[in-house]
């Protein structure tokens, strides 16, 4: 197991048995995002993606919450998100766009499987982090709320784009405009969570899911993700044409040969790690 210390103690990072875990660690603010946290999160995402010993990424939160999004208490202290300014600052817009690409953008395009493990509340930009993951696991006490309208903001960190693709335009409008508070069961019913497990089993079940992926065929999983990521902008013919070179590349791997042999021999495959 390796551990990396962050410039801020508000993010923890460790790698164990091929699984990198990034933990947002600001429980006194329900893991609300500060600028140093965003910058460090971006650095750790890049590090995990590049690391050959990392096969799966888990993103979670400490202290019973996932991520409350922006720090509304700080907004209040600053006189609003704009810090009391009367005009939009182009430099602030550019910086916010960069922060979004460092975090949500990078999670969404991550070349390895990403699991968001939600022990509690996720709201605002925190939903962007969760929705950008491939899989989301929570508990009955997991809470989701879009929250933007509640603080008179229109939303950022890709929440509208990601939400519409998860639940469709009608439900996305309802969740963004009316801001209902959804518990774990409601999130599961809507497809915002893939699994809901007992609260005291969340860590164990997240680890089981991560290790299942970490012991899987890495190239095939990466190419499966790429197929899915490209689908929204493709016709069926374009999607099928893009799939074939990846499929054929997988067919040349030792993982494929092992999986075929294991299928015939009626045993679990053991992939080359």
Residue with tokens 């079940």: 205
The pLDDT assigned to 80 comes to 73
The strand pair at 56-61 and 19-24 is best described as parallel
Arch. (CATH architecture) of 2-214:
Alpha-Beta Complex (3.90)
- Between CA 193 and CA 19 the distance in angstroms is 20
- Between CA 79 and CA 255 the distance in angstroms is 56
- What confidence tens digit (pLDDT) does each residue in 126-148 have? 999 999 999 999 999 999 999 99
- What confidence tens digit (pLDDT) does each residue in 100-112 have? 999 999 999 999 9
Whether 241 has a pLDDT exceeding 50, the answer reads: yes
Question: Is 79 in contact with 85 (CB distance < 8 Å)?
Answer: no
């Amino acid at each position: 197991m390796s551990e990396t210390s962050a410039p801020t103690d508000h993010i923890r990072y460790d790698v164990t048995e091929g699984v990198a875990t990034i933990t947002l660690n600001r429980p006194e603010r329900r893991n609300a995002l500060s600028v140093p946290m965003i910058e460090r999160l971006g650095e750790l995402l890049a590090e995990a993606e590049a690391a050959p010993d990392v096969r799966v990424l888990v993103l979670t939160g400490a202290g019973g919450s996932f991520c409350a999004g922006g720090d509304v208490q700080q907004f209040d202290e600053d006189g609003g998100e704009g810090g009391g300014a009367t005009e939009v600052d182009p430099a602030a817009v550019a910086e916010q766009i960069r922060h979004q690409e460092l975090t949500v953008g990078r999670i969404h395009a991550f070349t390895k499987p990403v699991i968001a493990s939600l022990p509690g509340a996720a709201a605002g930009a925190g939903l962007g982090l969760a929705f950008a993951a491939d899989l989301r696991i929570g508990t009955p006490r997991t809470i989701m709320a879009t929250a933007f309208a509640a603080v008179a903001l229109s939303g950022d960190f890709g929440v509208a784009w990601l939400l519409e693709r998860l639940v469709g335009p009608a439900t996305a409008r309802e969740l963004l405009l009316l801001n209902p508070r959804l518990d774990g069961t409601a999130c599961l019913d809507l497809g915002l969570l893939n699994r809901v497990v007992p609260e005291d089993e969340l860590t164990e079940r997240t680890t089981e899911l991560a290790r299942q992926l970490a012991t899987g065929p890495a190239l095939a999983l990466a190419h499966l993700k790429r197929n899915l990521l490209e689908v929204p902008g493709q016709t069926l013919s374009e999607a099928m044409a893009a799939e074939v070179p990846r499929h054929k590349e997988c067919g040349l791997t030792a993982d494929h040969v092992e999986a075929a042999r294991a299928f015939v021999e009626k045993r679990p495959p053991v992939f080359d790690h």
